[in-house]
Structure 1
Amino acid sequence: MANRLRFAAALVGSITIGITAASAHHPGIGGIGGAGGILTIGAGTLDEGQFAFSAFIDYLRLKQLSEPTLLANVGNDVHGLQTVESYAVALAYGITNDFTVSVRLPWVRRTGILEGVQEDPTAPAMVRDRGNTSGFGDVTVLGQYRFLNNQVSGTQAAVLFGVKAPTGATHLVDPFGELFEAEFQPGSGSWDGLFGAAFSQRLSPALSFHANVLAIANGTGTQNTNLGNRFLYNAALSYRVFGETTSEPHAHGPRDAYAYAGHNHSMMATKAPTVAAPHVALDALLEVNGEWHDKQRISGVSDPNSGGNTIFVSPGLRLTFDNWSSYVLVGIPVVNNYNGVQATPAWRTLVGISAVFGP
């Protein structure tokens, strides 16, 4: 199991879901895994022939809009929202030592959708509870090509490119028989392109830095709605609290700050006749996760109550056992610059497991 957890963050995680506040109605893209950041995509790739798996839940709690706010915005396409929940499975495969392809399959649920309505012009406006939506979301495929892998300095860099396909449900209706707006449907109905870059740097045998940017160019989808382009930016520090660390270069490239369940080839060589004991390690992480989101456009008209910029500060922990890892991340919003009137995030949490199998 020489390197099975070395790059789980950037591999499986390269296309796993991360819900961010500026797009509180729609999931974003982030990294999940065992070696770099949890939401941050590192530059590492799977070794050729390796297969990675991740399953996780991303839960975003929002500050529900008050009844007076909803009533004051009747007819302005303003909605309350309580939570956005994403349940996802991600798979990845190492085509070469420097090229990994990943796919993410999400189930998305939104709760507490409220709206101020004026059903009768002669009667006072009222707040209508439109309930929840849930269903299979849009599948994302992402390629990650590592073009720099300096084993001496521990520096890695990669380009990211991919596509989101319109596989999600787009025709859900509320209890009153009305079609939910595109922003509340599990799928967008659009083809979107993804373009970005990732970087990783070993700072010491126990400490590593990871960063990525990712631009998402949205197409026009269901209900003639373009949900708005996005730009994601993330950074993470990963520190090995306990478990083996080493400064030895690896045959296939440097370990991500060697922040995985450390594997020492020289030790394995001297103990070849015996079965190696499982590797156990704990990493502490601190991430900054940001997203800028353009306004959505409906039939070419911009929605003033959409889009903006948000930044989370997110501490987390990752426990590694041999080729498996489990992780938890808690995000606190420190910047919420929204356009118009929107539900704002209170906090988020992400929990999951991942594993890497193969050579």
Structure 2
Amino acid sequence: PEALGSKSGINLGLGAKAPLGKSDLTNENGILLTADLQPGSGAWDALGWLSLSKAFDFRPSATFSGNFIYRLTGINNSYLNNTSSYEFGDVFQANVGYTDQFLLFNTVFNPGLIFKYRKASVDKINNSNLPNTGGEWVFIRPELSVHIISNILVTLRMELPIYSYVDGTQLTPTTRFIAGVYFKLNNKNNTINL
């Protein structure tokens, strides 16, 4: 796009989350689990996202990128055996960062540094704010991907909380370490000529 100059990209998206997961599970004593312990929300949600990326002439392998996601939550009108309504708070999340690529010992390395911001609005029960829900979080996430061989990628990430403000008393994320291995399957175009 011309607005960001050459070597740039913009992606927009809209979507929905369907209420397919259960939202009426009980414990072994028959007591209904609270909404935050259910696998589903019992509501339709609308999702929107925007992704921006920009490479630079001074370092063609480097990319500055941003991903922005907004979830507008719906209302579960059958909460507590159809006696109440429950609405999870809307959520905004932004990931902004810088990644690069370099060759060392005949191996491709991709380091990156990402800043993550997340804001969740308070949940509501019967259209009243629910205490001890919602908040804001900021994380810094250094990461490194290594192409071991052409079709195997190893990814290491550490997510470090640098700021959090939660409403009331609630659990909040701490340091996380994530490791993954990705395999690229051969996708040759095999055609049969008759």
- Indicate the TM-score class for this superposition, using the shorter chain for normalisation: 0.7 to 0.9
1:345 aligns with 2:173: yes
The residue type equivalent to 2:73 in the other structure is N
What residue is the counterpart of 1:184 in the other structure?
37
Displacement, 1:326?
A: 2.8
1:1-359 paired onto structure 2 within 5 Å: 148=1, 153-203=6-56, 204-221=59-76, 223=79, 224-242=85-103, 280-320=107-147, 321-354=149-182, 358=187
Distance 1:217 1:196 in 2: 12
SS in 2 for 1:344: coil
Q: Paired residues, what number?
A: 177
Instruction: From the two aligned structures, give the one with the greater strand fraction.
Output: 2
Distance 2:180 2:42 in 1: 28
For residues 58-116 of structure 1, the C-alpha deviation after alignment (integer angstroms, 9 at most, x for no partner) is: xxxxxxxxxxxxxxxxxxxxxxxxxxxxxxxxxxxxxxxxxxxxxxxxxxxxxxxxxxx
Distance 1:189 1:352 in 2: 31
Higher relative contact order, structure no. (Cα contacts within 8 Å, ≥ 6 residues apart): 1
SS in 2 for 1:183: helix
What residue is the counterpart of 1:135 in the other structure?
none
Shift in alpha-carbon separation, 1:194–1:353, aligned structure 2, 3 A: farther
| Contact 1:324–1:354, Cα closer than 8 Å, also in 2 | yes
5+ unaligned residues in a row in structure 2: which ranges? 80-84, 189-194
For residues 156-188 of structure 1, the C-alpha deviation after alignment (integer angstroms, 9 at most, x for no partner) is: 111122111222232332344311111111111
Displacement, 1:355?
A: 5.1
Displacement, 1:216?
A: 0.5
For residues 223-247 of structure 1, the C-alpha deviation after alignment (integer angstroms, 9 at most, x for no partner) is: 121111111111121121426xxxx
| Contact 1:213–1:231, Cα closer than 8 Å, also in 2 | yes
Distance 1:228 1:331 in 2: 23
Identity rate of aligned residues, in percent?
24
| Contact 1:280–1:322, Cα closer than 8 Å, also in 2 | no
Distance 1:159 1:212 in 2: 10
TM-score, normalised relative to structure 1: 0.45
TM-score, normalised relative to structure 2: 0.80
